[in-house]
Amino acid sequence: MNELFGIPTGALALAVAAAMAAGLGVVGVLALRNPIFVKLGLRNIPRRRGRSALIVAGLMLGTVIISAALATGDTMSKTIRSAVVTSLGETDELVSVRGVDVESVAIGEATRVAYFDEAAYRKVREAGLRSPNVDAVAPAIIETVAVQDVTTRQNEPRVTLFASDPAALRAFSPMRSGGGEVSLADLRPGELFLNEDAAEELGARPGHRVRVLAGAKPVSFRVRAVVEFRGAGTSEAAVFTDLVAAQRLLGVPGKVEHVLVSNRGDELSGAKLSDAVVEELRPVVAPLGLEIKPEKQQGLEIADVEGASIMSMFTTFGSFSIAAGILLIFLIFVMLAAERRSELGIARAIGTRRGHLVQLFLFEGVAYDLAAAIVGAALGVAVAYGMVFAIAGALTAFGVEILFAVTLQSVVLAYAIGVLLTLGVVGISAWRVSRLNIATAVRDLPEPPRRRRRGWIVAALGLAVSVLLVASGVSSAEWLPFGLGVSLALVSLASLARRLGVPDRLAFTAAGLAIVVFWLLPADAFAFLADFASGFSVFLAGGLLLVVGATWVIIYNAPLLLKALAWALSPAKSLAPVLRLAIAYPLRSLFRTGVTLAMFTLVVFTLVVGVTTAGSFNKAWADVELFGGGFDVRATAAPASPLGDVEAAVGRVPGIAAGDVRVAASQAVVPLEAKQAGAGRGFESYPVTGLDDAFLERTSYGFAAIADGYGSAPEVWRAVREGDGLAVVDPNVAPRRDNWAMNVPPDFQLSGFYLEDGRFEPVPIVVRDRRTGRDLRLTVIGVLADTIPAEMWGISTSQRTLERALGPQVAPTVYWLDLADGADAAALATKLESTFLANGLEAQAMQETLDDYVAYSRTFMLIIEAFMGLGLLVGVTALGVIAARSVVERRQQIGVLRALGFRRRMIQAAFLLESSFIALTAIVVGTALGLGIAYNVIADSAEQPSWSHLTLAVPWLSLAVIFLVVYAVALVATLAPAVRASRVYPAEALRYQ
Amino acid sequence: MAVHVESPVVARVAPVTAEPIVEAREVVKTYDTGQVEVHALRGVSFSVARGDMVAIMGPSGCGKTTLLNCLSGLDAIDAGEILIEGVPLSAMSDRERTDYRARRMGFVFQFYNLMPVLTAVENVELPLLVARVRSGEARRRALAALEMVGLADWAGHLPDELSGGQRQRATIARALVNDPAIVWADEPTGDLDSENAGEIVELMRRLNVERGLTFLIVTHDIGVGRATDRIVRMVDGRIVEDNRMEVPRVLARHAV
């Protein structure tokens, strides 16, 4: 990726690396000043190698998640960049007829691009070659045609025909075949080249005869060679002829479609000169009715934005795991301190300052940190590779080839962030450790309750800040400050209550419960204060606070819970002594029990919310009626050869009975520019589609929001059909109060209402055809539902409206068929493709398209869930660290127990029961909280017209698998230390000091 | 445990030196465990003269260690005042108290509390390095301190490689390396056999007599008590007895 959070990755990596260097520099200076503490810190590392390895494993998890997210972003960016570079080669700018937007054809097949005279090309070439920034200019025709191999009888309805002037093209990317360079000039009349994709899809070899269908009459060619060429306007199948042959084939003698401009430099560096070249050539091309666009620069920018979007999706979903990882780092260092409490106490007694203790831990922490971040960054790349492998499999159905990539910047960035994150947490935990009570630490006695002289001030300050946060949240209608303010107020009140003599247990139980209840309230519970906006940051903060609140309640009431557990298990008399032990230890170390419980609960909570909401949305979305809008088959024709009257055309298809097709509708797609009238923003490229009457009459696509004056979806569609200048838009352009979307929004955006309101005043927009400079005024009266397929994205109006404004360029190229009940949509699609091969027709049953999307969506969600599940590793490590520490701490006590007659299995059972307490509590609490939040999300979404049919679907089977994994993981993590504990030889343990 | 040292001549007399190095006035210390309040010190007034070797004795839980911790500034007090070399502890910040400990105090504890990852000499030089003494000088003084306690040959060994008595000698070397005004010892022989305990008490006595080091020793061991100049007995957070020998050995020696 070239950009992350809008900052160039190079600069960001440099800044973060500089911050890391500064942090490490400070640590280095301290180390030079106090080498004795370096010695003290570092010599601890090899003392217990197994535990040191566990610490490194624990510290690296945050880095793994960041590194994996960055590498996945790099991969997506590289994949799109590679497609851009393969498709454009040396071409940096494209000169075309004004108003032609090549990039927006992804939504549907755009209407055919206009041609212009070669004389105009010559003027552009002349001007271009005068510029010191341009090294080549060539004319081109890039058109979609259908191709049939006569020998193999294989057809390919969509192949890019690329044609140019061989002499002018020579300065572009070389065309190679069989190890040597070839040229379009080598082609004899009636010959063409194929690229490898086309040869593979057609089964074609040199010497084969192929038919090119680009209109009514097929033209036969002989395949001269299979070539490699970057810059054919596609990264997929292509055929190559010289310009004259293509002009003859397409019936456009003396015309060209584009002028390709190559800037000085190679395929990537040339794009940096695009701004200058566009500036230089604009005055030349404008009078010719042409315009110049920096295609490569734009393509590369989009690649980076998409890559960053994927990266941000993974970091967002990985946030809970990162939070759990931070808790783990904290726990590890607090436990390290507990182990060395007596040493630290004596160090303080003989004059070591608190700052020195912080340094001591920092030195040790930095050593672990540097190693952990290296392992983490490398492991993250491996995790990303696994995810990319899975994504690549899921995208095969869409013909997308994923190219795995990791940039040095990303690795540096992940490493530096990992180091800084750990350094910060180690610093904070070291500061906490340094505040030990010397007298008790020396004798390794429990820390006495701390007197907080400034407790009143802190609590009062907390209340003041919370009031400000709440006020800010209400005035800006933002849930995050409001929610944080209320939570802080509850904590501050609990703190004040303690000062007033309320027992800790009561104060924190009440505060914890209040926080849990507050964050579990329905989204509209405080609608009387403001129409709050929320998003992923709210989900993240809410999740963390819910877990904190619940953990408080459990930890402050743990004695009661454990007594209840003991009572429940009391019939099993053999368990009694083991149970007593398993209960006593977690109660003695409530802090570490609480932190571990919070970590596990966080992981379970995240997984439950993710699995449940994704499952519910997927179930609601996977409805072919919603997805197809009442149609069963969608087909697209090559822009050069549309079907014309689709109803008549379908009627001519052999094997299709008259009653099979109930409705045959068509749609034109025109890449135009649009803006909201009077909103103060400029025109942005956006596709406009023209829907014919048949479509508008039949469609059942629903709406997320409907303009005032219209009562229902059919009413909106009827108005678009019958009225003039009315339109509907896809939901991506509508403003939302809640920002849950992960995809990159289009530049064209509406304003003045929120989608969630379901109602809005009709929005006037202006659509401009830059080719003619003509404006079309439309009024948006509906925003389509979130459940529509990507094929319906754009501004949709009636074909009549579009034709009246733009003329004949809006020939429909997309066709929608509603079939009679019982008709086989897949078979009919196949018949259509073979009949209309000459038109380059591609058809697919909506059910199949939906199945592909659903399969992809499920795979993607599984990957996201697996990514979130990385947090489980945090839990495993935490339990491992705690259990390992417990064995060391309790060695003497274990010796006593063994001497008293405890069998080995009883010792093991006590350890496993302890972990079970944490894991099972986390499962129960995490599931309850997760289902609570999932219910709120679903209930809130179901209030939107888009999702009115949405219901909470709890995937119990998936949850059961998660529970089993979590529990098994907890037991596995404890097993090794438990076995080690049980093998303690009593006499040796009793001597242990 | 029998400690083979010469029994001091004991008499109920006032301290012979006018200038106290540590003085406690009506010191109160209460531990609040959340369930119960433990009154560890109930208005203790007490002073230690320079060059004195004082033993604080009494049953478990009487407040001996609490008194040592409070006097040495390791723990905070709830009421009263403690003066170290005439300066109230309450007037010192945590940092000043810490620096004072590094420069002017030495500590000996029952379980040695040596840093397990540092060798004997590194442990001994630790307070000097903390007090910013140059490393060469610190090493020289640490080796001299080890020599003084008879542990020079074990300077490069880790604590795990030393016997209990050797560890406690290393602790004493660490306590005296910064030439302290006072050494605080909490059950210094509590974890040693009688032979090693005797050697440690003898060592402390020698350091007191020869170098004029002030010792305040918390102990259960009457043998240790007998080796000191003064025995203070505590019960339930109060001093109930303060017995002093007629002429402290250190003064006698220096008078000679």
- Chain A residues with CB under 8 Å of B102 CB are 350-352
Who has greater pLDDT, B34 or A491? A491
Give the tens place of pLDDT for each residue, A446-502: 777 666 667 788 888 999 999 999 999 999 888 889 999 999 999 999 988 888 888
Give the tens place of pLDDT for each residue, A246-281: 998 888 899 999 999 999 988 888 888 999 999 999
A367-to-A380, A426, B8 alpha-carbon distances in Å? 20, 11, 54
- Chain B residues with CB under 8 Å of A449 CB are 32-34
Residues contacting residue A710 through CB under 8 Å, at least 6 positions apart:
A716, A719, A781, A782
For A980, the token pair is 């080690």
B117 and A40 within 8 Å at the Cβ level: the answer is yes
For A98, the token pair is 């004004």
- Chain B residues with CB under 8 Å of A350 CB are 101-102, 105-107, 126-127, 130, 174-175
Give the dihedral sign, CA A792/A795/A799/A803.
Answer: negative
| Structural domain boundaries, residue B153 | 18-255
Most A-contacting residue of B33, B65, B115 (CB-CB within 10 A), to test interface: B115
- Chain A residues with CB under 8 Å of B182 CB are none
Average of pLDDT values for A932-947? 84
For A335, the token pair is 């436990």
Q: What's the pLDDT band for A883 if we cut at 50, 70, 90?
A: confident
Give the tens place of pLDDT for each residue, A426-445: 888 888 888 888 888 887 77
CATH number for the domain spanning B230: value is: 3.40.50.300
Is B3 among the domain residues? no
Nearest chain B residue to A342, by CA: B113
What pLDDT was estimated at residue A988? 63
Q: What's the pLDDT band for A743 if we cut at 50, 70, 90?
A: low
C-beta separation of A724 from A801 below 8 A: yes
Give the tens place of pLDDT for each residue, A270-309: 888 999 999 999 999 989 888 898 988 888 888 887 777 7
B108 CA to chain A: closest CA distance, Å? 9
The continuous run of DSSP H or E covering B70 comes out as helix B64-71
A916 CA to chain B: closest CA distance, Å? 29
> Burial level of B49, CB count in 10 A (0-12/13-18/19+)?
buried
ipTM above 0.90, yes or no: no
- Chain A residues with CB under 8 Å of B75 CB are 437-439
What pLDDT was estimated at residue B5? 35
B98 and A342 within 8 Å at the Cβ level: the answer is no
- Chain B residues with CB under 8 Å of A364 CB are none
**Distance, CA of A965 to chain centre:** 25
For A920, the token pair is 């099972």
Nearest chain A residue to B100, by CA: A351
C-beta separation of B108 from B165 below 8 A: no
- Chain A residues with CB under 8 Å of B168 CB are none
What pLDDT was estimated at residue B13? 32
Who has greater pLDDT, B135 or A581? B135
Is B183 among the domain residues? yes
Counted domains in chain B: 1
Nearest chain A residue to B111, by CA: A443
What pLDDT was estimated at residue A634? 93
Taking an 8 Å Cβ-Cβ cutoff, which residues of chain A contact chain B? Answer: 34-36, 39-40, 43-44, 47, 342-343, 345-354, 356, 437-439, 442-443, 448-449, 504, 993
Q: Which of A608, A460, A473, A486 is nearest to A545 (CA)?
A: A486
- Residue pointed to by tokens 């360029």: A809
A43 and B117 within 8 Å at the Cβ level: the answer is yes
pLDDT at B233 over 90: yes
Is B5 among the domain residues? no
β-bridge mates for residue A322, sequence order: none
- Separation between Cα atoms, residue A794 and residue A82, nearest integer Å: 26
What pLDDT was estimated at residue B250? 53
- Separation between Cα atoms, residue A222 and residue A209, nearest integer Å: 4
Is B213 among the domain residues? yes
**Distance, CA of A911 to chain centre:** 40
What pLDDT was estimated at residue A466? 93
> Burial level of A830, CB count in 10 A (0-12/13-18/19+)?
middle
Is B163 among the domain residues? yes
For B189, the token pair is 């022989």
Residues contacting residue B177 through CB under 8 Å, at least 6 positions apart:
B106, B124, B125, B127, B128, B141, B142, B145
What pLDDT was estimated at residue A188? 92
Among A109-113, A156-160, A616-620, name the one with the lowest average pLDDT: A109-113
Q: What are phi and psi of B69, to 5 degrees?
A: -60, -40
- Chain B residues with CB under 8 Å of A39 CB are 117-118, 122
Give the 3-state secondary structure of A129-197. HHCCCEEEEEEEEEEEEEEEECCCCCEEEEEEEEEECHHHHCCCCCEEECCEEECHHHCCCCEEEEEHH
- Separation between Cα atoms, residue A786 and residue A791, nearest integer Å: 12
Q: From the list A36, A342, A449, which residue is nearest B126 (CB)?
A: A36
A346 and B107 within 8 Å at the Cβ level: the answer is yes
**Distance, CA of A653 to chain centre:** 43
A351 and B98 within 8 Å at the Cβ level: the answer is yes
Rounded to two decimals, the pTM is 0.74
- Separation between Cα atoms, residue B140 and residue A628, nearest integer Å: 88
Average of pLDDT values for A728-749? 81
Helix axis angle for A904-942 and A870-889, nearest 10°, is: 150
Is B204 among the domain residues? yes
- Chain A residues with CB under 8 Å of B37 CB are none
A667-to-A135, A673, A686, A722, B45 alpha-carbon distances in Å? 41, 18, 16, 16, 99
- Please list the helix, strand and coil fractions of chain B in percent, rounded to the nearest 5, in that order: 40, 25, 35
What pLDDT was estimated at residue A398? 65
Give the count of alpha carbons within 13 A of A338, CB side only: 17
Is B203 among the domain residues? yes
Q: What's the pLDDT band for A980 if we cut at 50, 70, 90?
A: confident
User: What does R_g of chain A's alpha carbons equal in angstroms?
Assistant: 34
A578 CA to chain B: closest CA distance, Å? 27
β-bridge mates for residue A209, sequence order: A222
Q: Which of A668, A674, A678 is nearest to A686 (CA)?
A: A674
Nearest chain A residue to B177, by CA: A350
Nearest chain B residue to A40, by CA: B117
Q: Which of A102, A84, A103 is nearest to A92 (CA)?
A: A84
A445 CA to chain B: closest CA distance, Å? 12
What pLDDT was estimated at residue A213? 82
Q: How far apart are the first and last CA of chain B?
A: 33
Among A254-258, A898-902, B73-77, name the one with the lowest average pLDDT: A898-902
Q: What are phi and psi of B156, to 5 degrees?
A: -90, 10
What average pLDDT does chain A have? 84
What pLDDT was estimated at residue B6? 34
Is B9 among the domain residues? no
Q: What's the pLDDT band for A714 if we cut at 50, 70, 90?
A: very high
The continuous run of DSSP H or E covering A662 comes out as strand A661-676
Share of chain A above pLDDT 90, in %: 28
Nearest chain B residue to A447, by CA: B33
- Separation between Cα atoms, residue B2 and residue B109, nearest integer Å: 20
**Distance, CA of A825 to chain centre:** 33
Q: Where are the alpha helices (DSSP H) in A286-353?
A: 295-339, 341-349
Q: Which of A384, A441, A449 is nearest to A410 (CA)?
A: A384
Most B-contacting residue of A48, A49, A346, A350 (CB-CB within 10 A), to test interface: A350
B126 and A43 within 8 Å at the Cβ level: the answer is no
Give the dihedral sign, CA A343/A349/A354/A356.
Answer: negative
What pLDDT was estimated at residue A741? 61
pLDDT at B85 over 50: yes
A120-to-A254, A287, A624, A771 alpha-carbon distances in Å? 11, 10, 49, 15
pLDDT at A729 over 80: yes
A343 and B116 within 8 Å at the Cβ level: the answer is yes
For A398, the token pair is 């869409």
Average of pLDDT values for A893-914? 78
For A936, the token pair is 């709120």
DSSP class of residue A228? B
B74 and A442 within 8 Å at the Cβ level: the answer is yes
pLDDT at A99 over 70: no
C-beta separation of B232 from B46 below 8 A: yes
Q: From the list B32, B130, B135, which residue is nearest A352 (CB)?
A: B130
Q: What are phi and psi of A726, to 5 degrees?
A: -105, 150
A351 and B102 within 8 Å at the Cβ level: the answer is yes
